[in-house]
Structure 1
Amino acid sequence: MAEPNIVLVRIDNRLIHGQVATQWTSSIGANLILVANDEVSTNKMRQNLMNMAAPQGVATRYFSIQKTIDVIHKAAPRQHIFIVVESPQDVLRLVEGGVPIKKLNIGNMHMSAGKRQVATTVAVDDDDVAAFRKLQELGVELSIQRVPSTGVEDSAKLFG
């Protein structure tokens, strides 16, 4: 079975929104944005809002983490898939479920109670750090980058 053509996996707790949808999608040549999120997979209102933010000519799918694991290997080679998730824990579930993720782009993880700011747009707690560490052990390359035009920040910050 051919590997699914995953062009980027990104953590962004806003999931699909204007800037990400347009800049990342065009810079990586994606034609399908797959939001892997248990809550959004059943929330039509959030899906409709995200569809409005998605670039013209790019398909969108809203799957639960488990459904993503179950169907990703059925993707056609012509599907250049941009997977967007909300948290490192969700990425870890995908990887442990057999989704072939080699690189992870860490975009936005908002500040909230119990989290510490480690990069311009990234705040983590101990649980996030543990998930990132596990992903690294599983061979996933981590990079912090807000938009394609900005530099990549040092992912070591995640553990500092």
Structure 2
Amino acid sequence: MAVVLARIDDRLIHGQVMTSWVNFTGANKIIVIDDVTAKDSFLCMTIKSLVPSNIRAEVYTREQSVEAFLSQKESDKIIVLAKTPEPYVYLQEHGVSFDHINIGGMGIKKGRKTIYKNISASDEELTMLKTLADNGARVYIQMVAENPRMELDKII
């Protein structure tokens, strides 16, 4: 199994993921980690209907995601999507590590402050991002594959 993109984006699947990142990475699977989405059959169906027919989409709760990662095929090229950094911290704590974590869309909402252009994070989310980096993940902002990467440690 190869994780070709681990992305934090509160919109999960949308145009940028489907056009830019799928083409750039050559992914054949998308794994969404989000408790609310995973527990709602309509949202799961919607997520799965948004991906091209040659790409499999799977939706897991945070807890289910640990086992899901352990059972992936070697041929899988996976894009992982989560709304916040929390599922990635949980996975790290349970033995699943990521070399790179892309911040693509963390919108402005109550309790968050702007950290770079249209990217915002709460103090708790910033702590989680730093934890991910301290545990070996390269954390960066990059909206689409064609844009340059902006390393998180240079911003905060």
- Normalising by structure 2, what TM-score? 0.93
Query: Is 1:5 equivalent to 2:2 in the alignment?
Result: yes
Q: Which residue does 1:151 correspond to in 2?
A: 148
User: Tell me, which stretches of 5 or more residues in structure 2 are unaligned?
Assistant: none
Structure 1 segment 67-86 matched on structure 2, within 5 A: 67-86=64-83
Given that residues 22 and 55 in structure 1 are in contact (C-alpha distance below 8 angstroms), is that contact kept between their aligned partners in structure 2? no
- The equivalent of 2:63 in structure 1 is 66
* Equivalenced residues, count: 156
Instruction: Report how far residue 125 of structure 1 moved.
Output: 1.1
Residue 119 of structure 1 contacts residue 157 of structure 1 at CA under 8 Å; is this kept in 2?
no
Shift of 1:56: 3.3
The alignment's C-alpha RMSD in Å is 1.4
The question of 1:22 aligning with 2:15 is answered: no
**Aligned-pair distance for 1:155?**
1.1
1:12 and 1:62 map into 2 onto residues whose CA distance is 15
Alignment match of 1:110 (pick from 107, 111, 115): 107
State the identity as a percent.
25
- 1:100 corresponds to: 97
> What is the deviation of 1:48?
2.5
**Residue of structure 2 in register with 1:56 after alignment:** 53
* In 2, Cα distance between equivalents of 1:97 and 1:145: 26
Residue 115 (structure 1) shift: 1.0
Which structure 2 residues correspond to residues 135-146 of structure 1 after superposition, within 5 A? Answer: 135-146=132-143
Moved more, 100-109 or 45-54: 45-54
Structure 1 stretches of at least 4 aligned residues deviating more than 3 Å after TM superposition: none
Deviation at 1:44, TM superposition (A): 1.8
Deviation at 1:68, TM superposition (A): 1.0
